[in-house]
């Protein structure tokens, strides 16, 4: 062929193997691409548990309804990230004279991301193909599913390599890169999911012993709510984040989760979640002597107000009115298609410094992938399983409670509502602490329900919203048919909830992958 350009040149718009893998900077660029795979929209996964439903009705996915259709699932994006990690691990030795700590740091990041995503795959699908090198087209016909147990062992080996290679901290110019603490914390998360209590406890304790992390506002000066605002980015509780910056890569969390000025439903907490928050003395509300059902937000764990936006509160200049009446538009129950379904709105992440009337949904808040509170609760849960009522278990869970002013759990005074006299009593309190500390956050609840074996009990029960009743009144506002709403009395809003069977412990293998490769089998029950 004749041409006016050099056809032997490598493509200028992409980096090919022919022009790449020549310098350490090439390796650092390649591994940096992996950070785009860190999750952030998984806050939506709260609707896949008993914690919330979606007020934006069209946005409620099938899993939240208990429908597990193989056509709805995919893993190609995850495997693309794994391939990129494999490329780094395979090609890095081609760089001449590249050795020492800088090379190990790149290797550590690649091992971390490969482990991170394989853990997500086995937690979601069980047995999955395990691939540890870049494949050629001719290799793909032989791909089959590797037993979950084998993949898990490889995941833990990758985390161990990441732990060995990664630094304890990075210079401020490298904020957001994975660290030794992040690799240890993820190893603890994986071990906890599969009930490897000793591994989970040991890994969590090593994070604690690094002395690099601390709970935000650990001494309870009333700033806990700031943890979920942009001003807290870079604080010592965040072990791993996905970075965002206004106007460059905003993620519009405010508008999606709850935009009160428009009454968009977003993520709506269920009554079950609201009821999970103890009274201020540390008693479950079912046993409380101070809980008032007609004033349910008084005398409660302060995290309830931080998570749940409710009737009478003002947010962004709008007073929330949830009565199902025309006068409550747009924030009232069922007053329009995207209104709250439960009578509650999500409040976490509603940063008061952002004016949605002018900046809209724009938000530069970093997405916390791992925070130190998770490490403490992991340690507490694992230690209680290893050694019932261990002091270390109490100390760890009480650190999380102390920073919001909740009284310490204890096993010495049966007369107090915080008494935990048996392993199971402390286990139930720790599990509840997981729920309220990470409410509506990161989709943790759906995975906790599965690993604890209680998903069927929680998801097959009807989902409830707040109680209300309508009565005729001369004080009714125009357009309300002569009626007013009495909140927190009468019957709970009753929703369909979800559906769960034992085989739903794992998702179905994506049908698109089976269509491409008949060697892949489907999970039982699908």
Residue 92 phi/psi, 5-degree rounding, is -60, -30
Cβ atoms of residues 64 and 57 within 8 Å: no
Return the CA Rg of the chain. Answer: 25
Question: pLDDT of 236-291, one tens digit each?
Answer: 999 999 999 887 777 777 777 767 667 777 899 999 999 999 999 999 999 999 99
Lowest mean pLDDT among 90-104, 138-152, 375-389: 138-152
Flag whether 131 is in a domain: no
**DSSP states along 48-75:** GTTSEEESSGGG--TGGGT---GGG---
Counting the structural domains of the chain, the total is: 1
> Can you give the pLDDT at residue 496?
87
Flag whether 153 is in a domain: no
362 versus 284: the higher-pLDDT residue is 284
Question: pLDDT of 176-218, one tens digit each?
Answer: 999 999 999 999 999 999 999 999 999 999 999 999 999 999 9
Band (477; pLDDT cuts 50, 70, 90): very high
Average pLDDT of the chain, as a whole number = 93
Q: Is the pLDDT of residue 6 over 70?
A: no
> Can you give the pLDDT at residue 2?
43
> Can you give the pLDDT at residue 8?
41
Over residues 94-98, the mean pLDDT reads: 94
Residue 468 tokens read as 């209300």
Flag whether 502 is in a domain: no
pLDDT above 90 coverage of the chain, percent: 83
Q: Is the pLDDT of residue 359 over 80?
A: no
Band (136; pLDDT cuts 50, 70, 90): confident
Band (504; pLDDT cuts 50, 70, 90): very high
> Can you give the pLDDT at residue 148?
98
Kind and range of the H or E run holding 494: strand 491-495
Over residues 305-325, the mean pLDDT reads: 93
Band (81; pLDDT cuts 50, 70, 90): very high
- Of 351, 122, 186, whose CA–CA distance to 257 is shortest? 351
Flag whether 452 is in a domain: yes
| CATH number of residue 388's parent domain | 1.25.40.390
CA distance 498 to 302: 29
Flag whether 295 is in a domain: yes
In the chain the first and final C-alpha atoms are separated, in Å, by: 54
Residue 187 tokens read as 């190893």
Over residues 466-479, the mean pLDDT reads: 96
Question: pLDDT of 28-78, one tens digit each?
Answer: 999 999 999 999 877 789 999 999 999 888 889 999 999 999 999 999 999
Band (16; pLDDT cuts 50, 70, 90): low
Over residues 347-358, the mean pLDDT reads: 83
Q: Is the pLDDT of residue 14 over 60?
A: no
Over residues 503-511, the mean pLDDT reads: 98
Over residues 306-320, the mean pLDDT reads: 92
Residue 425 tokens read as 């009593």
Exposure string of 18-34, with b = 16+ CB inside 10 Å and e = fewer, is eebbeebebbeebbeeb
> Can you give the pLDDT at residue 510?
98
Flag whether 53 is in a domain: no
Q: Give bridge partners of residue 470 from the DSSP assignment.
A: 485
Over residues 157-174, the mean pLDDT reads: 97
CB neighbours of 388 closer than 8 A, spacing ≥ 6?
A: 422, 423, 426
Question: pLDDT of 209-240, one tens digit each?
Answer: 999 999 999 999 999 999 999 999 999 999 99
CA distance 180 to 206: 10
Flag whether 438 is in a domain: yes
Q: Is the pLDDT of residue 110 over 50?
A: yes
Q: Is the pLDDT of residue 109 over 70?
A: yes
Flag whether 411 is in a domain: yes
Q: Is the pLDDT of residue 13 over 50?
A: no
Band (1; pLDDT cuts 50, 70, 90): very low
CA distance 172 to 234: 10
Q: Which domain holds residue 273?
A: 253-492
């Amino acid at each position: 062929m004749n041409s006016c350009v050099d056809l032997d040149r490598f493509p200028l718009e992409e980096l090919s193997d022919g022009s790449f893998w020549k310098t350490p900077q090439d390796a650092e660029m390649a591994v940096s691409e992996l950070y785009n795979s860190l999750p952030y929209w998984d806050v939506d996964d709260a609707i896949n548990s008993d914690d919330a439903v979606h007020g934006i009705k069209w946005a409620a996915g099938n899993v939240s309804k208990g429908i597990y259709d193989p056509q709805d699932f995919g893993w190609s994006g995850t495997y693309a990230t794994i391939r990129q990690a494999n490329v780094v691990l395979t090609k890095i030795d081609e760089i001449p004279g590249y050795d020492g700590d800088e090379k190990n740091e790149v290797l550590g990041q690649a091992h971390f991301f490969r482990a991170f995503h394989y853990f997500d795959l086995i937690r979601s699908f069980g047995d999955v193909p395990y691939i540890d090198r870049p494949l050629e087209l001719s290799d793909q016909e032989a791909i089959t599913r590797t037993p979950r147990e084998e993949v898990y062992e490889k995941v833990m080996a990758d985390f161990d390599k990441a732990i060995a290679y990664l630094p304890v901290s990075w210079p401020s110019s490298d904020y957001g890169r994975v660290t030794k603490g992040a690799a240890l914390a993820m190893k603890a998360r994986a071990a906890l999911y599969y009930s490897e209590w000793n591994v989970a406890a040991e890994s969590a304790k090593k994070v604690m012993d690094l002395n690099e992390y601390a709970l935000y506002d650990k001494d309870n000066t009333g700033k806990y709510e700031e943890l979920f605002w942009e001003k807290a980015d870079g604080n010592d509780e965040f072990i791993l984040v996905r970075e965002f910056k206004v106007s460059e890569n905003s993620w519009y969390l405010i508008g999606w989760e709850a935009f009160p000025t428009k009454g968009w439903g977003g993520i709506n907490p269920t009554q079950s979640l609201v009821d999970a928050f103890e009274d201020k003395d540390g008693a479950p509300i079912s046993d409380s002597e101070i809980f008032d059902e007609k004033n349910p937000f008084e005398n409660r764990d302060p995290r309830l107000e931080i998570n749940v936006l409710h009737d009478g509160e003002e947010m962004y200049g709008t007073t929330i009115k949830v009565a199902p009446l025309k006068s409550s538009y747009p924030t009232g129950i069922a007053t329009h298609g995207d209104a709250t379904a439960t009578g509650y709105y999500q409040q976490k992440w509603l940063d008061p410094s952002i004016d949605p009337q002018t900046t809209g949904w724009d938000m530069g808040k970093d997405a916390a992938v791992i925070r130190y509170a998770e490490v403490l609760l992991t340690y507490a849960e694992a230690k209680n399983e290893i050694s019932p009522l261990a002091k270390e278990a109490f100390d760890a869970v009480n650190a999380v409670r102390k920073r919001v002013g909740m009284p310490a759990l204890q096993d010495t005074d049966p007369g107090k509502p915080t008494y935990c006299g048996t392993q199971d009593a402390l286990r139930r309190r720790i599990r509840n602490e997981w729920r309220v500390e990470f409410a509506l956050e990161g989709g943790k609840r759906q995975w906790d329900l599965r690993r604890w074996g209680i998903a069927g009990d929680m998801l097959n029960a009807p989902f409830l919203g707040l109680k209300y009743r309508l009565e005729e009144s001369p004080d009714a506002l125009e357009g309300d048919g002569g009626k007013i709403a009495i909140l927190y009395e009468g019957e709970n809003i009753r929703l369909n909830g979800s559906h769960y069977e034992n085989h739903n412990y794992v998702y179905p293998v994506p049908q698109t992958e089976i269509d491409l490769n008949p060697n892949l089998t489907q999970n039982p029950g699908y």
